[in-house]
């Protein structure tokens, strides 16, 4: 069976069993037990001083264990085989991670509720993952996002009588996720759009120069605008002196690329190049010289 | 117990449970095979804000308003998960977790803020349903099944779930081939020109339909359990898709009937006074069936359970003839 099916099956049937036992208890002691929705949503308003102390101590303990096991956990997360070759006990690390999650859930269940725990296990980490690609940054960043969500959410929920604290905290962290989705430096929507636009410009410039170098006219307005802006093209569609040079260089690069692509010996060499930028950015001068000589002898 | 009492008090909840279980188990087969088992979990969480929105917009507890709201919320979450996955290139499971917990929290907030919680809408009901209360008071015995006046008083959930399970079965039969091909080999399906993404989205929408119609009557515990447990147990019984589907229908019906009877009469047999939650017991039974299948491992057992196991044994390229 696949892992997700197993998770879902265990989750739902044990949840069902829990509900059965809950109704059994409720019937036995004539409805004195807290309802199911308290376990789901928590009862933050009814939190006592002792509860807060237990949560603080439990949280600190979990944090210490997480810091101690930080390195083996990180290595295991990225490459299990490598971790094993270093002598990391994989079953111990898996078990420890599970135990930490279990500890957080049990500590927080009564006060903050199941939904908030599940949400706060996932949302801050995914948000941090959006913002950074470095594992060393993601973990503390996720912690900060979770903490700030908690403070801000609890603050907002105290402003009005009917705001459920757990739900507000989840929504605040969901808001951070949305912000990151738009504004994250590499994976965000804005960054992706900017990257796509830069790429589009480069393609237009390159294709325009190639067309001009081969004696064609460029009629496409966007390409003309870009080339004029670079000072490569006059308003009447004729190349400037600088434009002549750039077009020649583009054509020469294109011929070199064509030669490299025809020749299977160079396939690994060619993989260094993205197919679009100046060849001098991907290859050294000696390498280019070698290519030019090889082309001459070939012709 | 007399026939009259049984028909009035137990027959309709059992039938509703069976139809709910079957309509969730059918799409569940494909979700499990596509490694999307948790989609059912996500959908059943997202249904809550949809139902509350449906109530807030129409100000009525009309079933259709809630069904539409829930279906809209399910569609929204599926599209949101897909869009975010494409933009952020983060694992689907993580994004699913973000989307469904946030939407569920939104549902809870809306519920607490509105006056919806004063009417028949609360989190407990959303989880456990009200299977026990779907009784048929007009029934006077088995003869009522032929009496149009009494039949008109059936709980509306029963015809609704019957229609939705027939609809789901029909859709599955109509789209059987493309569904099967794209489930087992997406690349091959694409090369045949099948609209792979549309099939995938359609499957999730059918799952949402099943979740939404079943949710109102039986709560989200049964919905989640029935998406996964019967299909996973059926997967352990056979390697053939059609046989797997029939097994899952059998397991789903068995869980519903057995679970309801155990919850209703089980505690009385062992000396307790009150029945326990039928929804919880049905989910528990489905988990037990899955556990039994996993332990007994019927594949490779006698051919009467699965003829294909026999054939596999006789094939020259099987592991017994390396």
Each domain of chain B, given as residue ranges in start order, spans 3-224
Whether B47 contacts B74, CB under 8 Å: yes
pLDDT above 60: residue B321: no
Q: Give me the torsion for CA of B259, B263, B265, B268, rounded to 10°.
A: 150
User: Which residues of chain A from 87 to 146 reach within 8 Å of chain B, CB to CB?
Assistant: 115-116, 118-119, 121-123, 125-126, 129-130
Residue B153: predicted pLDDT: 76
Preferred mutation among A1, A2, A3, A5 to probe B, highest tally of B CBs within 10 A: A5
Count of Cβ atoms closer than 10 Å to residue A36 Cβ: 20
- Cα B84 from chain centroid? 26
Q: What is the pTM of this model?
A: 0.75
pLDDT above 80: residue B311: no
**B276 vs A: CB within 8 A:** yes
Give the span between the Cα atoms of B16 and B252, in whole angstroms. Answer: 12
Taking 3-state DSSP, the helix, strand and coil percentages for chain B, each rounded to the nearest 5, stand at: 80, 0, 20
Residues of A in contact with B266 (CB under 8 A): none
**A4 vs B: CB within 8 A:** yes
β-pair partners for A233: A239
pLDDT above 90: residue B186: no
Banded model confidence at residue B118, pLDDT cuts 50, 70, 90: low
Q: What is the mean pLDDT of residues B19-30?
A: 93
pLDDT tens, residue by residue, A152-170: 988 898 887 777 788 888 9
pLDDT tens, residue by residue, A82-95: 988 988 888 899 89
Residue A177: predicted pLDDT: 94
Residue B174: predicted pLDDT: 94
Dmax (CA) for chain A in angstroms is: 97
Residue B113: predicted pLDDT: 76
User: Which residues of chain A from 238 to 267 reach within 8 Å of chain B, CB to CB?
Assistant: none
Q: What is the mean pLDDT of chain B?
A: 81
Residues of B in contact with A20 (CB under 8 A): 263, 276-277, 280-281, 284
**B80-85: long-range contacts at Cβ-Cβ below 8 A with a sequence spacing of 24 or more?**
B81/B42, B84/A181
Whether B267 contacts B274, CB under 8 Å: yes
B97, B123, B280: residue with CB nearest A122: B97
pLDDT tens, residue by residue, B210-227: 888 887 778 877 888 999
Which segment, A209-223, B90-104, B207-221, B241-255, is predicted with the most confidence on average? B241-255
Give the span between the Cα atoms of B128 and A219, in whole angstroms. Answer: 67
Residue B316: predicted pLDDT: 42
φ/ψ (deg, to 5) at B297: 45, 75
Residues of A in contact with B104 (CB under 8 A): 115, 170
pLDDT above 70: residue B306: no
Q: What is the mean pLDDT of residues B288-313?
A: 65
Cβ burial of A165 (10 Å; 0-12, 13-18, 19+) is buried
- Please give, rounded to a whole number of angstroms, the shortest distance from the CA of A46 to a CA of chain B: 17
Q: Quick check: A192 and B225 CB within 8 A?
A: no
Residue A34: predicted pLDDT: 53
Q: Quick check: B280 and A171 CB within 8 A?
A: no
pLDDT above 60: residue B26: yes
**A6 vs B: CB within 8 A:** yes
Whether B181 contacts B189, CB under 8 Å: yes
User: Which residues of chain B from 160 to 199 reach within 8 Å of chain A, CB to CB?
Assistant: none
Q: What would the two tokens of residue B176 be?
A: 């059987």
Residue B121: predicted pLDDT: 57
Preferred mutation among A7, A12, A118 to probe B, highest tally of B CBs within 10 A: A12
**B86 vs A: CB within 8 A:** no
User: What Rg do the C-alpha atoms of chain A give, in angstroms?
Assistant: 30
Counting Cα atoms < 13 Å in the Cβ hemisphere of A291 gives 24
Query: Which residue's entry shows tokens 């294909």?
Result: B308
β-pair partners for B141: none
Query: Which residue's entry shows tokens 């829990």?
Result: A18
Query: Which residue's entry shows tokens 């020749």?
Result: A263
Residue A41: predicted pLDDT: 67
Q: Quick check: B228 and A12 CB within 8 A?
A: yes
**A77 vs B: CB within 8 A:** no
Residue B3: predicted pLDDT: 65
Banded model confidence at residue B314, pLDDT cuts 50, 70, 90: very low
Looking at residue B119, the DSSP 8-state letter turns out to be: S
3-state secondary structure of A238: coil
Sign of the alpha-carbon dihedral angle for A180, A183, A188, A190: positive
DSSP string covering B127-162: HHTTGGG---TT--SGGGGG-HHHHTTS-THHHHHH
- Please give, rounded to a whole number of angstroms, the shortest distance from the CA of A96 to a CA of chain B: 21
pLDDT above 60: residue B308: no
Low-confidence ranges of chain A (pLDDT < 70): 27-45, 111
What would be the CATH architecture of the domain defined by B3-224? Orthogonal Bundle (1.10)
Residue B320: predicted pLDDT: 38
Residue B135: predicted pLDDT: 77
B113, B224, B276: residue with CB nearest A23: B276
Q: Quick check: A5 and B276 CB within 8 A?
A: no
Residue B315 — left, alpha, or beta (φ > 0 → left; ψ -120 to 50 → alpha)? Answer: beta
């Amino acid at each position: 069976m696949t892992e997700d099916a197993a998770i879902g099956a265990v989750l739902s049937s044990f949840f069902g069993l829990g509900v059965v036992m809950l109704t059994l208890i409720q019937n036995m002691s004539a409805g004195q037990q807290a309802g199911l929705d308290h376990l789901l949503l928590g009862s933050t308003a009814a939190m006592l001083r002792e509860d807060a102390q237990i949560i603080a101590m439990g949280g600190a303990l979990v944090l210490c264990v997480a810091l101690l096991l930080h390195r083996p956990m990180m290595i295991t997360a990225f490459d299990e085989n490598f971790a094993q070759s270093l002598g990391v006990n994989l079953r111990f690390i898996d078990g420890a991670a599970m135990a930490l999650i279990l500890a957080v859930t049990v500590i927080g269940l009564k006060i903050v509720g199941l939904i908030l725990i599940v949400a706060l296990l996932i949302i801050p980490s995914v948000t941090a993952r959006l913002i950074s690609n470095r594992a060393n940054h993601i973990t503390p960043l996720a912690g900060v996002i979770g903490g700030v969500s908690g403070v801000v959410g609890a603050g907002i929920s105290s402003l009005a009588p009917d705001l459920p604290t757990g739900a507000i905290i989840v929504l605040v962290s969901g808001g951070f996720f949305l912000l990151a989705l738009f504004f994250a430096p590499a994976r965000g929507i804005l960054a992706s759009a900017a990257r796509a636009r830069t790429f589009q410009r480069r393609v237009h410039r390159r294709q325009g120069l190639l067309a001009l170098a081969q004696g064609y006219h460029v009629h496409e307005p966007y390409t003309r605008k870009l080339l004029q802006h670079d000072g490569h093209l006059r308003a009447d569609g004729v190349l400037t002196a600088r434009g002549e040079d750039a077009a020649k260089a583009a054509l020469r690069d294109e011929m070199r690329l064509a030669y490299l692509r025809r020749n299977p010996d160079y396939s690994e060499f060619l993989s260094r190049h993205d197919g679009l930028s100046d060849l001098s950015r991907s290859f050294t001068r000696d390498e280019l010289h070698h290519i030019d000589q090889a082309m001459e002898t070939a012709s | 117990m007399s026939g009259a009492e049984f028909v009035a008090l137990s027959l309709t909840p059992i039938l509703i449970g069976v139809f709910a279980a079957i309509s969730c188990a059918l799409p569940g087969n494909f979700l499990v095979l596509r490694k999307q088992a948790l989609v059912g979990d996500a959908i059943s969480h997202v249904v809550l804000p949809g139902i509350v929105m449906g109530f807030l917009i129409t100000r009525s507890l009309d079933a259709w308003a809630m069904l539409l709201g829930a279906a809209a919320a399910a569609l929204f979450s599926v599209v949101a998960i897909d869009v975010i996955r494409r933009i952020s290139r983060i694992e689907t499971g993580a994004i699913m977790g973000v989307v469904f917990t946030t939407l569920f929290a939104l549902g809870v907030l809306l519920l607490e803020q509105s006056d919806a919680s004063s009417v028949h809408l609360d989190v407990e009901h959303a989880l456990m349903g009200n299977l026990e209360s779907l009784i048929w008071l007009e029934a006077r015995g088995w003869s009522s099944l032929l009496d149009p006046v009494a039949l008109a008083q059936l709980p509306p959930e029963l015809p609704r779930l019957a229609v939705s399970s027939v609809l789901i079965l029909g859709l599955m039969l109509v789209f059987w081939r493309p569904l099967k091909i794209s489930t087992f080999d997406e690349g091959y399906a694409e090369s045949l020109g099948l609209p792979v993404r549309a099939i995938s989205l359609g499957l999730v929408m059918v799952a949402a339909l099943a979740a939404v119609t079943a949710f109102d009557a039986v709560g989200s515990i049964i919905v989640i359990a029935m998406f996964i447990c019967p299909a996973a147990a059926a997967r352990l019984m056979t390697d053939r898709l059609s046989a797997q589907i029939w097994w899952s229908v059998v397991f789903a019906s068995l869980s519903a009937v057995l679970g309801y009877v155990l919850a209703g009469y089980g505690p009385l047999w062992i000396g307790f006074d009150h029945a326990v939650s039928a929804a919880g017991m049905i989910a528990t039974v489905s988990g037990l069936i899955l556990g039994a299948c996993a332990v007994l491992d019927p594949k490779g057992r006698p051919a009467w359970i699965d003829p294909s196991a026999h054939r596999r044994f006789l094939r020259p390229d099987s592991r017994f003839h390396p």
